[in-house]
Amino acid sequence: MNKADLITAIETRLGGKKAATDAVDAVLDAIIREVARGNKVTITGFGTFEKVTRAARTGRNPRTGDTVPIKKTAVPKFKPGTGFKAVVAKPSSLPKTGNAAGRASAGTAGTTATTKAAAKKAPVKKTTTKAAAKKTTAAKTTATKAAAKKAPAKTATKATTRKTAKK
């Protein structure tokens, strides 16, 4: 997922592409500016961004094998939070509603109770989903059969056209 995909994913929640673009840009700008100043940015349940200084060292030029001095430099570092790690390790723990608040606290003790409460309500939705899936599968099967019947006729027509063109 790139920045444009991220904007597209959240534009329905924020009411439009302009609002989503402004929100993503504002969040990224704030994080970048704070880390560049040397401050740590911590987003609970997601992770921590910070500036780390690498010491000066010597490296090797791979082409010639000579030693090359490498200057001291500062780089950004991201450390994922426990909630983020938990969701990556077990994606099924992610709520199906797409609720951002549920994602931020995934893996915490409070989420277990929320997940259990959601699981009790889920069978009603699953029944509806299964019925819709059966209808969709039936429609796909019908469309596939119809396409399969039409395909040989087109192939035969092309073959006949080629024979006629050669004569």
Does residue 40 belong to any structural domain of this protein? yes
Which pLDDT score is estimated for 94? Answer: 83
Does residue 10 belong to any structural domain of this protein? yes
What pTM does this model have?
0.53
Mean pLDDT of 43-58: 95
Does residue 57 belong to any structural domain of this protein? yes
Does residue 60 belong to any structural domain of this protein? yes
Instruction: Enter the tokens of residue 126.
Output: 């699953």
The number of distinct structural domains making up the chain is 1
d(CA 11, CA 7): 6
Does residue 139 belong to any structural domain of this protein? no
Whether the CA torsion 109, 113, 116, 118 is positive or negative: it is negative
Choose among 41, 36, 114: nearest CA to 79. Answer: 41
Which pLDDT score is estimated for 157? Answer: 53
Helices and strands in the chain: count of H runs, count of E runs: 5, 5
Does residue 155 belong to any structural domain of this protein? no
d(CA 100, CA 119): 18
Residue range of the domain that includes 59: 3-89
Does residue 14 belong to any structural domain of this protein? yes
For residue 107, report the phi and psi dihedrals to the nearest 5 degrees.
Answer: 95, -5
Between these two residues, 85 and 97, which has the higher pLDDT value?
A: 85
Least confident of 98-102, 111-115, 125-129, 149-153: 111-115
d(CA 167, CA 162): 9
Percent of the chain with pLDDT over 90: 52
What is the CATH number for 9? 4.10.520.10
Decide if pLDDT at 39 tops 90.
yes
Give the bridge partners for 68, in sequence order. 59
Does residue 54 belong to any structural domain of this protein? yes
Burial 116-136 (b: 16+ CB within 10 A, else e): eebeeeeeeeeeeeeeeeeee
Decide if pLDDT at 125 tops 80.
no
Which pLDDT score is estimated for 93? Answer: 84
